[in-house]
Structure 1
Amino acid sequence: MEKLISGAQKLGLYLSREQLEQFHIYYHELVDWNRKVNLTSMTDYDEVQVKHFLDSLTVSMAMKSEDDSCLHIIDIGTGAGLPGIPLKIALAGIRLVLVEATAKKADFLRHLITKLGLDHIEIIVGRAEEIAHDTRYRESFDLVLSRAVALLPALAELTLPFCKIGGTFVAQKKGDIGSELNKAQRAITMLGGRLREVKSIGLPEFDDKRFLIIIDKVSPAPHRYPRRPGMPAKRPITS
């Protein structure tokens, strides 16, 4: 776990022996379950610790240190638990909700959480388009996360309705994001967001360009959004 340790330290996260053991268990459970459930195309040890685990921890760059221990966070389209579970391992005090539409992946998440001994995690099986209209979750979260789920215009519609006023949505992106970001401006504004920053992740552990798109929630999202399942991706709100 040397690359994970080194990268985490650059983020100001100093992982204990217990936390490193949790990441070790996470890796082996991921590889084991991946034989029967399509969780990831990446199973190499070094790749997973950098491109999955460390990449997930970069979300901490968008967090205020004084809020780390009490944030209420939702991870939309979490898949194998990324970025939510690595963040929970590193910052044990956060309260976490994981949204995953595929039941078999949710089964893995339940198993993993038990194996890791993590608490204050809720798993919801369903589509973000529908869950966002549930009053228990709508505009309830300090921090909304999403990693590799959709293009930003659709992603804004899927995520910003979960974010409370004064909260933050963080999208993890890589490569050339200029055009995607420009197309998303209308959706971001319409759904109550305001772009705060595009933060470049300059860690030497990564061999590509990675960014955090950080959006503050400044006004309520209109009640009609998100639209029915599939519509945000099929007909995105674009400039």
Structure 2
Amino acid sequence: MPHEKAGSLIPELMVRDTRFKPVNSKQLTHFIEDTQRTLSIEDLKLLIEGAHEFGVELSEKQVSLFALFLDGLCSWNRRMNLTGISERREMMIKLLLDPLVALPYLPSGGTVLDVGSGAGIPGVPLKIARKELEVHLLESKAKKVSFLRNMIRTLGLTGIAAYEGRAEKRSTPSGLFPSYDVVTARALAPLRKTVSICSPYLTQGSILVTFKGSKVNKEIQDSEGLLEELHLRLSKKISYRLPETGGSRYLVILKKETN
């Protein structure tokens, strides 16, 4: 079973946007002034240095977009149940930083379907960090789709769209592609059910990227028969830790071998 530490591949998988100068934690004060966001210097430092630990170098523009997205999450979450997380710093860690662990393992471009996107996690952070990706956010709740479309406009992002629908009903909303290079699922369901829901959007060479907790080994074991049936192979199981949160988390990547 492939099993890697997230930090072990950082030197060779460092992600850089050559059009923007990567920011370091000593350059933070002007971000607050420029964006007029409510992020503290400590929070910005956590985001930038946490991303670096995952092999992701954020540009000034990307940091500003993350700050704006976090503002939107906090504001809308007071009016509707986007997430059970209410504390701003915890949102930054679990909703903005956590998705970035997957970025070094994604193609430099290509198509991404985020199934059960909810508050846009992980799809929006991945799009901010790698603008070349074409991202579709699939969410069943109309209010959350409204939030996603509002944030896409607010952030000025292109090559990303939100769709209302349920993947498991196989009723593909107009605009979705028949298949994607990458399908992501975070906090959707146990792995076996996630595979069942997401597999119709995979084609040969596609990957399914999921984020898992302490029950990861049992979930993989329970899914073995279905994975074989659907010609999916466990490509990577990567352990990592988020700042200030304690236990290990796992990035599980499945690859579609044949159709």
The verdict on a shared fold, with TM-score over 0.5 as the criterion, is: yes
Please name the residue that 1:172 is paired with. 211
SS in 1 for 2:63: helix
Deviations 1:44-75 (A, max 9, x none): 22211111111011111422xxx32x221110
Distance 1:7 1:180, change over 3 A: same
Please name the residue that 1:62 is paired with. 105
Please name the residue that 1:120 is paired with. 159
Please name the residue that 1:101 is paired with. 140
SS in 2 for 1:157: helix
SS in 1 for 2:215: coil
Distance 1:204 1:44, change over 3 A: closer
- Separation in structure 2 between the aligned mates of residue 176 and residue 195 of structure 1, nearest angstrom: 16
Is structure 2 residue 67 aligned with structure 1 residue 27? no
Please name the residue that 1:224 is paired with. none
- 2:121 and 2:186 in contact (8 A); partners too: yes
Deviates more, 1:194-203 or 1:93-102: 194-203
C-alpha displacement at 1:132, in angstroms?
Answer: 6.7
Please name the residue that 1:85 is paired with. 124
C-alpha displacement at 1:134, in angstroms?
Answer: 7.4
Query: What is the one-letter code of the residue matched to 1:57?
Result: L
Q: Report % sequence identity.
A: 34
Please name the residue that 1:53 is paired with. 96
- 1:195 and 1:214 in contact (8 A); partners too: yes
- Separation in structure 2 between the aligned mates of residue 86 and residue 12 of structure 1, nearest angstrom: 15
Distance 1:45 1:175, change over 3 A: same
Aligned length in residues: 215
Please name the residue that 1:42 is paired with. 85
C-alpha displacement at 1:156, in angstroms?
Answer: 0.4
C-alpha displacement at 1:202, in angstroms?
Answer: 4.4
Is structure 2 residue 53 aligned with structure 1 residue 10? yes
- 2:74 and 2:88 in contact (8 A); partners too: no
Deviations 1:110-152 (A, max 9, x none): 00001101001121101102347679533x2111100000011
- Separation in structure 2 between the aligned mates of residue 37 and residue 2 of structure 1, nearest angstrom: 29
With the length of structure 1 as denominator, give the TM-score of the two structures. Answer: 0.84
Please name the residue that 1:223 is paired with. none
- 1:7 and 1:205 in contact (8 A); partners too: no
With the length of structure 2 as denominator, give the TM-score of the two structures. Answer: 0.78
Unmatched runs of 5 consecutive residues or more in structure 1: 221-239
C-alpha displacement at 1:204, in angstroms?
Answer: 4.9
Please name the residue that 1:137 is paired with. 177
Query: What is the one-letter code of the residue matched to 1:32?
Result: S
Give the structure with higher Rg (CA): 2
Query: What is the one-letter code of the residue matched to 2:235?
Result: R
Unmatched runs of 5 consecutive residues or more in structure 2: 1-43
